[in-house]
Structure 1
Amino acid sequence: MRRRGVGAGAITKKKLADAKYKERGNELAAQQLQQLSNQLEAFHNNLEEFAAKHKEEIRKNPTFRHQFQQMCAAIGVDPLASSKGFWSEMLGVGDFYYEIGIQAIEVCIATRPKNGGIMTLHELHHRLLKSRGKYGQDVTQEDIVTAIKKLKAFGSGFAILGHGTKCMVQSVPGELNMDHTAVLESAQQNHGKVNCAHIEKSLSWKGERSQHILEHLVREGMAWVDDQSPDRQRWYWFPSLFNEAD
């Protein structure tokens, strides 16, 4: 009976100790969370002061604007989230990207009958600058990518395919999977055209897979079939990749 009493007391004592440790742990966690919240608030305030001080450079200097966007993203601040509030009133960056997005839509719609809704980022950039005129605010390819990513959030059918210098812009509804993108990138490296043999060699695919993807791109209007090649092979041309911006 005595041993049972000692055991029960030890268990009760351990439970009380555990409860105190848990309570202390919760207090420390709450303190750390509050400290982190204070740090983020201070950083946010400093970012607003920085933006106010350098607003003209953010508006006019594309490189500086891109770096500012990256700095904002690091703490979860999105200057483009709303057309109202501090960022829009102080910098006008929200309105700037909405304007770029609308102009990108206009260019893509105008060229869609020719390219099936796929255009290189380089060509879109060239056409957009031409439409804005020589007195328009400078726009970089990074600005266009940012604007299009915002358009995608609205389910507009716009998306960025690929990366780096190989970026392409999709402006038609419907998802293109990795196979479609791989074929487009392969055609981009081969002067805008591919055939099944070229795909099988460059991507190590089997014939059925290549044929299926190419036929899908033809149905979507993104590729044209050429059966009149001197080598008697069926080639698939991508007008978005061989038409020069005029």
Structure 2
Amino acid sequence: MRRRGVGAGAIAKRKLEEAKYKERGTVLAADQLAQMSKQLETFRGHLEQFASKRKQDIRKNPQFRMQFQNMCATIGVDPLASGKGFWSEMLGVGDFYYELGVQIVEVCLALRHRNGGLMMLEELHKRVLKSRGKLAQDVSQDDLIRAIKKLKVLGNGFSMIQMGGSYLVQSVPAELNMDHTTVLQLAEANGYTSAAEVKAALKWEPERIDHVLTYLLREGLAWLDMQATDGPQYWFPALCSKDAALDELNETSP
């Protein structure tokens, strides 16, 4: 009985010590959180001062603007989150990206009848720069990517598909899965592919190939050339870098 009493007392003591350690740990965690919050607030203040001094560089220099955006991201600040507030009033970056988004939509809509709603980022960048004119503020591909991400509020009509080291911009609400993306990546080099090429490269069953190519054709993302010497070819206007190739395809397409 005596040993039982000692054992019970030891357990109670250990629980009391654990409770104290837990309480101490909670206090330390709260102190650390408070210190981190204070440091972030200080950094945020310095970032605002930096932005005030270098606002012209942020507005006019795309590379500098990208580095500034990355700095903001490290502390959870999104200058594009709203058209109001300090960042919009001081830098105008919120309005800048919303206006750029409108220009992106205009370019995509103007070319949708030709490319089915798919366009390489490089091509979109070139056409947006042309539409803005020589005297307009310069924009980079990074600016376009940030503006496109903001366009997602319009629904699933705008998105980006990874294509090697670049992106394919989608401006139509088509549901593209991994099979569709894989075929697009296969066709990237030449701008077209065929059922035979897909079968040889991916080892897919004919039903799977037909399902994917038929969908891309139906959605207007691909054009079918029945007069190719090696059999039917599926052309993707978004992947054709030269207008001449598009003109030739227009002549041969039904």
Give the alignment's TM-score, normalised by structure 2: 0.90
**Deviation of 1:203 (Å):** 3.4
Mapped to 2, the partners of 1:72 and 1:245 lie a distance apart of 40
Provide Cα deviations, 1:164-199, integer angstroms capped at 9, x if missing partner: 644111001132112211211222211x11001222
In the alignment of these two chains, the number of paired residues is 244
CA contact (8 A) 1:183 1:199 kept: yes
Identify which range, 192-201 or 85-94, moves more after superposition. Answer: 192-201
Q: Which structure 2 residue ranges, 5 or more long, are not aligned?
A: 245-254
The answer to whether the 8 Å contact 2:174/2:219 transfers is no
Q: 1:201 to 1:86 in 2, by over 3 A?
A: same
Task: Tell me what 1:228 maps to.
Answer: 227
**In 2, Cα distance between equivalents of 1:12 and 1:183:** 67
**What is the root-mean-square deviation in Å for CA atoms of aligned residues?**
1.7
By how many angstroms is 1:3 displaced? Answer: 2.1
Equivalent residues of 1:60, 1:138 under 8 A apart: yes
- How far the C-alpha of 1:99 sits from its partner, in A, is 0.6
Partner of 2:237: 239
CA spacing shift, 1:28–1:39, aligned 2, 3 Å: same
Q: What displacement does 1:131 show?
A: 1.0
Look up the match of 2:250.
none
**Partner SS state of residue 236, structure 1:** strand
Q: Output the CA distance in 1 between the equivalents of 2:179 and 2:222.
A: 15
Give 1:186's aligned residue.
Answer: 186
Q: Which amino acid aligns with 1:242?
A: C
Deviation at 1:243, TM superposition (A): 6.2
Shift of 1:122: 1.5
| Equivalent position amino acid for 2:233 in 1 | W
For the pair 1:205 / 2:204, whether they are aligned, the reply is yes
CA contact (8 A) 2:103 2:128 kept: yes
Q: Secondary structure at the match of 2:160?
A: strand
Asked whether the equivalents of residues 123 and 245 of structure 1 are also in contact (C-alpha less than 8 Å), the reply is no
Aligned equivalent of 2:104: 104
Shift of 1:147: 0.2
Q: Is the Cα contact below 8 Å between 2:83 and 2:95 reproduced in 1?
A: yes
Q: Which residue of structure 2 lines up, in the alignment, with residue 10 of structure 1?
A: 10
CA distance in 2, matches of 1:96, 1:4: 76
User: How does 1:118-129 map onto structure 2 within 5 Å?
Assistant: 118-129=118-129
Q: Distance in 2 between matches of 1:135 and 1:164?
A: 32
Using the TM superposition, give the Cα deviation of residue 132 of structure 1 relative to its aligned residue in structure 2, in angstroms: 0.8
Amino acid at match of 1:241: L
- Paired with 2:102 and 2:41, the residues of 1 have a C-alpha distance of 34
Q: Which runs of 5+ in 1 are unaligned?
A: none
Task: Supply the distance in 2 between the matched residues of 1:75 and 1:161 (Cα, whole angstroms).
Answer: 28
Name the SS of the counterpart of 1:97 in structure 2.
helix
Following TM superposition, by how much is the alpha carbon of 1:206 offset from its aligned partner in structure 2, in angstroms? 3.4
Q: Which residue of 2 aligns with 1:45?
A: 45
Structure 2 contact 163–185 (Cα < 8 Å) conserved: no
Read off the aligned partner of 1:40 and give its amino acid letter. L
CA gap 1:245/1:28 in 2 versus in 1, 3 angstroms: farther
Secondary structure (helix, strand or coil) at the match of 1:125 reads: helix
Deviation of 1:73 after TM superposition, in Å, equals 1.2
Aligned letter for 2:21? Y
- C-alpha displacement at 1:120, in angstroms? 1.2
Q: CA deviation at 1:22?
A: 1.0
TM-score normalised according to structure 1 size: 0.93
Write the deviation string for residues 81-102 of structure 1: whole angstroms up to 9, x where unpaired: 0000010011111111001100
Q: CA separation of 1:203/1:142 partners in 2, compared to 1, >3 Å: closer, same or farther?
A: farther
- Alpha-carbon shift at residue 163 of structure 1 (Å): 4.5
Q: Deviations over 1:52-73 (max 9, x none)?
A: 1111000000111111111111
Name the CA distance, whole Å, in 2 between partners of 1:156 and 1:93.
Answer: 24
* In structure 2, C-alpha distance between the alignment counterparts of 1:242 and 1:156, rounded to whole Å: 24
